Amino acid sequence: MAESSRKRPILAAVLGLLYPGLGHVYLREWVRALLWFGLIVLTGSLLIPDSVYPSTLTVDSLMAMSEAMPLEALVALSAVTGMNMVDAYVLASRNNRTSQRVAEGGQCPSCGREVDPDLEFCHWCTTELQGSVDAEN
């Protein structure tokens, strides 16, 4: 069961490179994905002047836009994208470590605290545990 929840950190980071927040969608971290989507849009709208935006979407107009973009906008957008990639990678790695510890037993899948293997629920957060007493009978 824990193997199905494992995600690839490199894939999450690469998806974040394509568009910030996309790696978090892959990780099913919806709020974080929306925050990264919003942050990249906000950064672009604040730092890219209106005169740079093309009137038509063609390859040539997009190339001209990228050449006319101010340096501080490029740096800020690159920084947001880089931080997003690092966050997605770290989050996927941490989730994989947690799911591995849960699969080995002894930890609640919801809160991550140690539980008594004889109980059918976590006495910290009351999450129902699978594979406890019912699995033994």
Q: Please spell the DSSP secondary structure of 58-112, one letter per residue.
A: -HHHHHHHHHHS-HHHHHHHHHHHHHHHHHHHHHHHHHHHHHHHHHHSSB-TTT-
Report yes or no: 115 and 124 within 8 Å, Cβ to Cβ: yes
Q: What's the whole-model pTM score?
A: 0.71
Reading the block at residue 44, the tokens are 């672009």
Dmax over Cα atoms in the chain, in whole Å? 71
Least confident of 5-19, 67-81, 112-126: 112-126
Domain map of the chain by residue range?
A: 3-104, 110-137
Please write the tens of the pLDDT for every residue from 38-85: 999 999 999 999 999 988 999 999 999 999 999 999 999 999 999 999
Mean pLDDT of 32-42: 97
